[in-house]
Structures are given as C-alpha cells and as structure tokens.
Chain A
Amino acid sequence: KQEVTQIPAALSVPEGENLVLNCSFTDSAIYNLQWFRQDPGKGLTSLLLIQSSQREQTSGRLNASLDKSSGRSTLYIAASQPGDSATYLCAVRTTDSWGKFQFGAGTQVVVTP
C-alpha cells in the first residue's frame, strides 16, 4: 500500500527566501506524481506533474524533482513571496492504482513580508 509523507507539516520563512518542500513515498512503482497548492477552504490548483520517466519539471519559480529509487520528490520555490502562502500537497499515483492518487497531508507554508 502506497504511503505518502510530507515533512515538515508547517514552515514559515521571510519573503525572498527559497522554499524546499519534501515528499516521500513507500512504493517506487509510480505512474506519475503531481504537486498541488491549496488555499484555505478552497480546491486544489495543479502546480507541476512529473511522469515516472522524468527527473524534474520546471515552471517559472517552481522546480520539482523526482527520485523514484529513494522514494522522494522535492518542490523548490525560488524567491518566495507572501502570495506563496498556502498548503502544498504531493500526490502519487502508482502503476496499479487505476487513477487513484495517494496524497500526503501537506505542508502549510507562511511567507512573512
């Protein structure tokens, strides 16, 4: 059974610092991994999707890496801004899961001005 862990659960940084968010998973037979952002009480906004054959994806200030052998993905957010304050969720789909995502509990990020 796939288990997904996100550490730390919460993070507070001053504006301008780089953010590093970690996601670990127990089953390396993944199909893809998706990072989402969630504002309080809202739905999920997709940030980056990494297919199992890829090592990283980039979009603007965001970069996500994937290391299947060690069961890890890392989301980097460069030069953080107060608008980056949100909860960041990692979701893993394994190859036999018929589309089911296993989510981590998320990392709550606060960027202070």
Chain B
Amino acid sequence: ETGVTQSPTHLIKTRGQQVTLRCSSQSGHNTVSWYQQALGQGPQFIFQYYREEENGRGNFPPRFSGLQFPNYSSELNVNALELDDSALYLCASSSSRGQYGYTFGSGTRLTVV
C-alpha cells in the first residue's frame, strides 16, 4: 500500500507567476484535502475534493483552485503568486470523507520571490 505522494518537493517561483502542485492519494482513498502551512503555524485548510467535486473550502481567494481526477489524484493551482503564498503545501487523502482519519504527504515547499 503506497502512501500520499506530492510533487515537486521544492519550488521557487516569482511573484505574479502561476504554479501547479500535484498529489497522488493513497490507494483506496477517494477524498483529497489541501492545506497551507506557514512557518511556525498549524496547517490551514484550503479545500477538499470528494469523487472529483469540491465539497468544502477554507478562507482562500479564488486564485487558489484545484482539480481531482478519476483516479483520485489531485492538483492545486495558484495564480498570480504573492510573497505571502510562500509556505509548505500539504495534501491529505482519506476514504469516506475522513471517517477513518487522513494520511498526509510530505508536502511541497513553495518559495515566492
């Protein structure tokens, strides 16, 4: 059984650019959530996808968008990058919308300069 895989592990972008982060969910999981973690803080919920539909969103602007594919992998897209978007982005997957808890990936460290 494989865990949650995120790519890339590190990324440096320039302010105003766009970025796509990828997540492969754990085998058997149909729910994917994305979180943003700034340095020294707890993760903040961005949104969740269940069976390819967004079914929950945190307090993030529309320039944060996502997709879930038929194999339940997912993408997080961020447009018009700002310096404050620099953070660790975490993907988590679960079955049955988290009834049995979530498994997190190792994250993507995004630096915006």
Contact = CB atoms under 8 A, between A and B. Distances in A.
Tell me whether A and B are bound partners. yes
Interface of A: 4, 31-32, 34, 36, 41-46, 49, 89, 91, 93, 97-106
A41 B109 CA distance: 8
Name which of A34, A42, A98 has the most chain B CB atoms within 10 A of its CB: A98
B42 A103 contact: yes
Interface string B36-67: 00001111110010100001101000000000
11 contacts: A31-B98, A41-B88, A44-B92, A89-B43, A91-B42, A99-B50, A99-B98, A100-B33, A100-B58, A101-B33, A103-B42
Interface of B: 4, 6, 31, 33, 35, 40-45, 48, 50, 55-56, 58, 88, 90, 92, 94, 97-107, 109
Contact of A98 (B42, B55, B88, B100): B55
Given A99-B31, A101-B45, A103-B43, A46 B104 contact: yes
A43 B104 CA distance: 7
Contacts of A100: 33, 45, 48, 56, 58
A97 B88 contact: no
Contacts, number: 69
Given A43-B90, A44-B90, A103-B43, A98 B106 contact: no
B103 A46 contact: yes
The 9 A-B residue pairs whose C-beta atoms are closest, nearest first, are A103-B42, A98-B56, A49-B101, A43-B106, A44-B104, A99-B98, A100-B45, A43-B107, A99-B48
